[in-house]
Every structure is written in structure tokens, then in C-alpha cells.
Amino acid sequence: MSATETLLEVKGLTKHFALHADIYSRLAGEKAQMLKAVDGIDFHIRRGETLGLVGESGCGKSTTARLVTRLIEPTSGEVKLRGENLLAFSSSRMKEARKEIQLVFQDPYSSLNPRKTVMQILSRPMEIHGLAKSWTEKRGRVLELLRRVGLGVEHIDRYPHEFSGGQRQRIAIARALSVDPDLVIGDEPVSALDVSIQAQILNLFRDLQEQLGLTYLFIAHDLSVIRHISDRVAVMYVGKIVETGPAAAIFENPLHPYTKALLAAVPEADPDKPPPKLTLKGEISTPIDPPPGCRLCGRCPRETAICSQDAPPLVEVGGDRQVACHNL
């Protein structure tokens, strides 16, 4: 296995939701408004690396996570795991593939079943995928998982409500690891945690990646978290990826006007840094029936005539970076 092997490749991934005004217009077959949650995005993740997906609420980050895991079906596009298109898989084939892609959700209070013990929560995926035969084997594996995420044997028979938020997120991570996946998708996995606990969980993600050779798709809205955890970063704005590239390059020298604006708006925990500023006009654009052209139209300081006519494609700009802007 070479270090640069592509584990996941996403091409032209699109999800449009039809918004009907009411049931009558739906029955009458009237044309619905289209909410273009994800609108033709391309990205890839190499084995063993972390791709950070960052953007503001409603930009399509979580929809992307759900599409990649086929929790919802895309409108069009391809999701290739080691070169094979997941979207063409039969349901039995998909079940096999689900072992390899696991999700960790944002809210550890709603993503764990309150009526199941830790043992039940962590052994269920093994049962579904036939990974452990006997009770002893299951218990052994659950103990091993708990140890990996920094919990112990004393926690195995407890219920989720007996744990703090950080500990619950450790259980959610252990559950994702229970089927020995290659790719772990974290959908805002540290957003609900206090900063001192957030640091513990970020370190845990880092340790697990080292020990198990995991590949991460890490979704967050917090730019400093993304900077910390990612090897490469993809910045999303209203259903489109506007910039991708190595984390250090993007944070030190952002090229897309949206990436620049996003970084300038972050208040850094240092009184000597410049105060946060918004360099864009207005508020986030709507994904409902967006006009043709660049999604940043009307807000962008670099806007020219072409911007409102053609959507800029994501183009290579050297140094493993891609940017979607007409006016670089």
C-alpha cells in the first residue's frame, strides 16, 4: 500500500431536495423549488490522512457525510471507495461496505441509545456484521475498545446517562471502531464539548489514527479545530467546494475570497491578534433555487461581470491546491 493511495473519491456528488409549497401543489404536479444542499462536489481522501471539511451552517457539510455513508441517496454523482462506486452497490454489498465507513455524530446525548448498556452498544455492530461469535469473544473485544478510547472495565455495564459528554463521545468513537473501519467520518464530533474536554477528544482522534492507521473525514465549523486536526482542508459554501488544499497552505495563504473572509472572522484567543472582521457583504446566500454563477455573488469584494453568469469550476492552482474563483 502506497502512502498516496486514494481511499475515497467523490465525483460530482449532488443532492437536491424538492420543496413543495403544500400538498396540493405537490399533487397538482407543480414545479417545486429546489434546495441544492450539495451541488456537484468533488474531493478525494488518501489513505491515512485527515480531510477537514469546513463551512458555515447550511453549507451542506452534514449532507455530504450522509451521502458518503449512503444514509440518504444522492441525486447524482459517484462515491468511490477504493475505486468502486458505492452508489451502485446492492444492499448486501452495501452492508459489507458499511463496515469500512463509520460515523461519529455531533451530539453524544442523542446518538447513544439510553436504554442500552455500553456492552450492548458496542457489541451490536459486531453482531450485525458477524465479527464475534461467542459472548466471551464479544466482551473481550468490547474491553479492548474501551481501553483504546480511554475507558475501563468498570464502565462496561453502565448506561449512557451515567457518563459525561466527553465520555459519551468516547463511547460513540468506540462504537465506530467496533467493526474495524478504514474511514471514520466525524460530523462535528467535538462541537458539543467544552474546550478542555474537546482537547482530550481531539488528542484521542489523533492517537487512534496513529495506532490503527485510520483515515478521517472530519467535519467542523470551528476553523481552529479544522486547522489542528487536518492534513488537507476543503472549504464549502452553499453546496459547493470553493477551495481545497493542504491545511497549512490554506490557513497561511487563503486564496478564495470566502476562505479569506472566514479566516478573518475568527476571533483568535490572543488580544494582540487583529480583531475579527467580516470582509463580505450581507449574509449567507440561500441554497434554494440559487441563481447561476458563483454562489458568493452579491457578497464578494472581487466580483466582476462573469461571476453572475458562470459558476467557476474548481481548478488546480499548484501545490496540491484547487480553487473555484474567476478572479484569482
For residue 264, state whether it binds other proteins (rule: CB under 8 A).
Answer: yes
Q: What's the angle, vertex CA 32, arms to CA 293 and CA 13, rounded to 5?
A: 50
**Cβ–Cβ < 8 Å for 101, 69:** yes
C-beta closer to other proteins: residue 91 or 196: 196
C-beta closer to other proteins: residue 157 or 268: 268
Q: Which residue has the cell 464475534?
A: 132
Could you tell me the smallest distance in angstroms from the CB atom of residue 223 to other proteins? 6
Q: Please give the radius of gyration of the chain, using alpha carbons only, rounded to the nearest integer.
A: 21
The kind and range of the H/E element at 39 are strand 33-46
Q: What's the angle, vertex CA 17, arms to CA 14 and CA 21, rounded to 5?
A: 155
**Cβ–Cβ < 8 Å for 4, 46:** yes
**Cβ–Cβ < 8 Å for 117, 157:** yes
For residue 172, state whether it binds other proteins (rule: CB under 8 A).
Answer: no
Per CB under 8 A, the list member of 236, 261, 323, 324 interacting with other proteins is: 261
Q: Which residue has the cell 461571476?
A: 307
Tell me, residue by residue from 56 to 85, as one string, x for binding to other proteins by CB under 8 A and - for no binding: xx----------------------------
Interface positions, 194-223, toward other proteins (CB under 8 A): 194-200, 202-203, 206, 221, 223
Give all strands (DSSP E) within 112-238, no chain letters: 183-187, 215-220, 232-237
Per CB under 8 A, the list member of 153, 278, 306, 328 interacting with other proteins is: 278
Could you tell me the smallest distance in angstroms from the CB atom of residue 49 to other proteins? 14
C-beta closer to other proteins: residue 106 or 167: 167
Could you tell me the smallest distance in angstroms from the CB atom of residue 230 to other proteins? 9
C-beta closer to other proteins: residue 121 or 247: 247
* CA-to-CA dists, residue 247 to 92, 181, 319, angstroms: 37, 24, 12
- Contact residues toward other proteins (CB under 8 A) are 56-57, 164, 166-167, 194-200, 202-203, 206, 221, 223-225, 227-229, 247-248, 251, 261-271, 273, 275-278, 280, 283-284
